Structure 1
Amino acid sequence: METNLRWVALTAIAPVVWGTNYFVTREFLPADRPLFGAALRALPAGLVLLGLCRQRPRGAWWWRSAVLGLLNVSVFFVLVYAASQLLPTSVASTVMAVSPLAMMLIAWALVSERPGVSHLAGAAIGLVGVCLMLLTGAGGVSVPGVLASAAAMLVSSFGYILAKRWSAGADVLASTAWQLTAGGLFLLPVAAVVEGPPPALDTPALLAFGYVALVATAAAFTAWFTGLRHLPAGTVGLIGLLNPVTGVLLGTVVAGEVLTGRQLCGLALVLAGVVLGRPTRAGRRGSSHASSPPLDRHDTDGHRSNRRRRLTPPPRSRRF
């Protein structure tokens, strides 16, 4: 159980950091260059991780990296960048909180992880909290911004579960590096054709890109994919609800966005959903029992082979 909690704590780094990413993107990065913004986020992060792991893709991982890079990086980053520029920090981050339910349904179909009652209850409670925060925030809500954020949620949910399905046989740091590098390489020529020369960046923008690439991408995605490898998709999806909590609190404290009483109730419900998704000792015990046959309480590792020999009938003698 303690091991599971450590994986939960590590995974939680990702949504908390992503919650800050909306504010950094909106306040410090150029608003009219979403393609270059996404490329400058992904490619440096992927190259840094490649320098750390020093592994190249092998076999099927060449095309798998391309597919995952397109879903989890290229398309996802552009949509998130656009949503960050069109929506308030609180709204952009709360739309993504619908992803736990999407991840559970996709995981059920792709990796045969049937969502538990507690996970479904956590997703339902979290969705209610999302609605409270989304529908009662101050200021107008951009419909294109909401659509971009919702599309990002669906694309990434599918990509995350696909990465979980393909996780065997590849180091998590290496597979994360391959995805980010492939996604950045896809984005760079498209950005050059569509948006022209790279944008001129001042010192605050350079520092912001450094934070977005190294912390909100390289470190956060490594933590996220590590969690997907060791925890059920439903648990990881519900941990992702910490994203809107961080976004709303940061928008209130730093950006001066108004936090209403109903939004506070929504935050409480979101946190309750996260708690419901925690790994349980019963679930771990059940999987342990399923994988090994029960032994007599007096058995020890030293006597197990003797016990099996006693239970095995002696071979019949042959007459020649």
Structure 2
Amino acid sequence: MAANRATHIALTALAPISWGTTYAVTTEFLPPDRPLFTGLVRALPAGLLLLAISRTLPRGVWWGKAAVLGALNIGAFFPLLFLSAYRLPGGMAAVVGSVGPLFVAGLATVLLGERPTVRTLLTGIAAALGVSLVVLKAAGSLDTVGLLAALASTASMSTGTVLTKRWGRPEGVGPLALTGWQLTAGGLLIAPIALLVEGPPPALDGRAIGGYLYLALANTAVSYWLWFRGIGRLAATQVTFLGPLSPLTAAVVGWAALGQALTPVQLLGMAVAFGATVLGQLRPGTGPKAVSAAKGNRRSAPTTPEVPAGSRP
């Protein structure tokens, strides 16, 4: 079972790792100053593709639930994230986003009954500290609108993550269909905003088309499917602690592909954030002391006859 759990964690981690390449692809391949159009192209074609593959539409209350999840995880998250990135000094949006595990820990307490441990809270603080060391540039004046947008985007994605875990999926519906519902709903929400704010779509050359295809397919359709699949198999806090892998990947890609230097402070921050990510995957009650206590409890517990599987409630 531990091997299956490790596989679920590894597959889910591919999502934020893929999202960490978004900045490099956007700056090197896509037309500038079109964040909403980029969000729209990421979400809507990917959602429609997954709907075509799954051939499953929501039923009953799931029309409303899919719309809510699509708005939180995609439709509101994308525009708010881009707005914060454009208005805040370098890396600040990522730092605000790195407090997502603490948001999720609080929401999971209320909506899922997952009580946060001291380890979870300290790990969340360490993750935010590590990310700040990696991405935070020289301090500048903070834009109030940008800061509020960053907080709102983090709260939106965190709430969407917890509600996705709480509501689960309708019987007989897989994560592929659920992902398609959310991406389509989110894309439809972004479409009128993009048209009003940015106007008609820009002219695209072959380089831009290739970049948008990557973002829509690998970076969104596959990555969000893996993300929502992971939410269904792991604790909400475990999933959100994989989020810091995104800015860490962005820093590595910037160093490897764009020639950006990494300072000793950034390397220290990467080690801290990665360590927090790994620690965040440990379930409550794991570790040497917990294992020893569990073994002691088993030795001291009275033996009871095995109950046939068919008679268990």
Give the aligned partner of residue 187 of structure 1.
190
Structure 2 CA distance, aligned partners of 1:295 and 1:181?
55
Alignment of 1:108 onto 2:109: yes
Q: Which residues in structure 2 correspond to 1:261-276 (within 5 Å)?
A: 261-276=264-279
CA apart distance, 1:178: 0.4
Label 1:115 to 1:192 Cα distance change in 2 as closer, same or farther (>3 A). Answer: same
Structure 2 CA distance, aligned partners of 1:74 and 1:119?
29
CA radius of gyration, larger in: 1
Q: Which residues in structure 2 correspond to 1:204-215 (within 5 Å)?
A: 204-215=207-218
Label 1:250 to 1:92 Cα distance change in 2 as closer, same or farther (>3 A). Answer: farther
Letter in 1 for 2:70: G
Please, which moves more after superposition, 67-76 or 205-214?
Answer: 67-76
Tell me if structure 1 keeps the 8 A contact 2:94–2:135: no
Give the aligned partner of residue 299 of structure 1.
306
Structure 1 CA distance, aligned partners of 2:177 and 2:63?
12
Q: Which residues in structure 2 correspond to 1:1-320 (within 5 Å)?
A: 1-83=2-84, 92-135=93-136, 137=137, 143=143, 148-169=149-170, 170-280=173-283, 282=285, 296=303, 299=306, 301=308
Letter in 2 for 1:299: E
Letter in 2 for 1:189: P
Deviations 1:20-40 (A, max 9, x none): 112212332233323222111
Structure 2 CA distance, aligned partners of 1:219 and 1:158?
21
Please, which moves more after superposition, 137-146 or 7-16?
Answer: 137-146
CA apart distance, 1:274: 1.1
Label 1:254 to 1:260 Cα distance change in 2 as closer, same or farther (>3 A). Answer: same
Please, which moves more after superposition, 16-25 or 83-92?
Answer: 83-92
What SS does the corresponding residue of 1:204 show, helix, strand or coil? helix
Letter in 2 for 1:96: G
Tell me if structure 1 keeps the 8 A contact 2:94–2:131: no
Structure 1 CA distance, aligned partners of 2:57 and 2:208?
31
What percentage of aligned pairs have identical amino acids?
43
Structure 2 CA distance, aligned partners of 1:264 and 1:252?
11
Deviations 1:177-236 (A, max 9, x none): 001011112222332333322111111111111111111111111111111111111111
Tell me if structure 2 keeps the 8 A contact 1:108–1:114: yes
What SS does the corresponding residue of 1:258 show, helix, strand or coil? coil
For normalisation by structure 2, the TM-score amounts to 0.84
CA apart distance, 1:168: 3.7
Structure 2 CA distance, aligned partners of 1:269 and 1:25?
27
Structure 2 CA distance, aligned partners of 1:80 and 1:248?
18
Label 1:51 to 1:188 Cα distance change in 2 as closer, same or farther (>3 A). Answer: same
Letter in 2 for 1:235: Q
CA apart distance, 1:157: 0.9
CA apart distance, 1:91: 5.4
Structure 1 CA distance, aligned partners of 2:85 and 2:138?
16
For normalisation by structure 1, the TM-score amounts to 0.82
Structure 1 CA distance, aligned partners of 2:109 and 2:307?
38
Structure 2 gap ranges (5+): 292-300
What SS does the corresponding residue of 2:185 show, helix, strand or coil? helix
Label 1:210 to 1:146 Cα distance change in 2 as closer, same or farther (>3 A). Answer: farther
What SS does the corresponding residue of 1:201 show, helix, strand or coil? coil
Tell me if structure 2 keeps the 8 A contact 1:106–1:158: yes
Tell me if structure 1 keeps the 8 A contact 2:15–2:227: yes
Deviations 1:128-180 (A, max 9, x none): 21232344x36968746555444322211111111211114242211110010
What SS does the corresponding residue of 1:115 show, helix, strand or coil? coil
Label 1:176 to 1:142 Cα distance change in 2 as closer, same or farther (>3 A). Answer: same
Letter in 2 for 1:278: Q
Letter in 1 for 2:235: P
Label 1:29 to 1:92 Cα distance change in 2 as closer, same or farther (>3 A). Answer: farther
CA RMSD in angstroms, aligned pairs only: 3.0
Letter in 1 for 2:276: G
Label 1:87 to 1:14 Cα distance change in 2 as closer, same or farther (>3 A). Answer: farther
CA apart distance, 1:300: 6.7
What SS does the corresponding residue of 1:72 show, helix, strand or coil? helix
Tell me if structure 2 keeps the 8 A contact 1:16–1:243: yes
Structure 2 CA distance, aligned partners of 1:271 and 1:254?
21
Label 1:201 to 1:25 Cα distance change in 2 as closer, same or farther (>3 A). Answer: same
Letter in 1 for 2:231: L
Structure 1 gap ranges (5+): 287-293, 309-320
